[in-house]
């Protein structure tokens, strides 16, 4: 009987750890999504050649603006600018708390968000 109780208890602890750390992962992924989109928006503000009728995002200034935003939030990412489009990818290592007891190590979260400048 005691073996059964121990195995049920161990299963409940493992399930609780999965739910707890899983919820933290989902929440952190939403935060990273927001930061990637905000960094892309910061880059999209660097539009040049408007009066020439050849609007585009300045690749150097846009990249600097996006990386500045990411650095302010202690994040690392890459920026790709093509014409009026900016794509920011953010990667972060996220530590597990309870799942480390089950041998699950840190998880790598990555997200990509794209912003396109539209002139209407």
- DSSP for 21-72 reads HHHHHHHHHHHHHHHHHHHHHHHHT-EE-TTTT--EE-HHHHHHHHHHHHHH
pLDDT at 120: 67
- Residue 73, SS3 per DSSP: coil
Residue 4 to residue 7: CA distance in whole angstroms? 5
Please list the ranges in the chain whose pLDDT falls under 70. 1, 120
Residue 115 to residue 113: CA distance in whole angstroms? 7
**Burial (CB count within 10 angstroms: exposed 0-12, middle 13-18, buried 19+), residue 81:** buried
Q: What is the pLDDT of residues 19-49, one digit of tens each?
A: 887 888 889 999 999 999 999 999 999 988 8
- Residue 103, SS3 per DSSP: coil
Nearest residue to 113 (alpha-carbon basis) of 19, 12, 14, 29: 29
pLDDT at 73: 97
């Amino acid at each position: 009987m005691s073996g059964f109780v121990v195995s049920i208890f161990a299963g409940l602890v493992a399930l609780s750890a999965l739910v707890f750390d899983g919820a933290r992962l989902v929440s952190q992924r939403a935060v990273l999504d927001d930061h990637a989109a905000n960094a892309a928006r910061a880059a999209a503000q660097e539009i040049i050649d408007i009066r020439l009728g050849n609007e585009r995002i300045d690749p150097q200034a846009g990249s600097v603006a996006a990386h500045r935003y990411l650095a302010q939030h202690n994040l690392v990412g890459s920026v790709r600018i093509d014409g009026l489009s900016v794509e920011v990818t953010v990667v972060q290592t996220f530590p597990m708390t309870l799942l480390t007891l089950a041998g699950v190590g840190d998880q790598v979260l990555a997200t990509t968000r794209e912003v396109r400048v539209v002139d209407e």
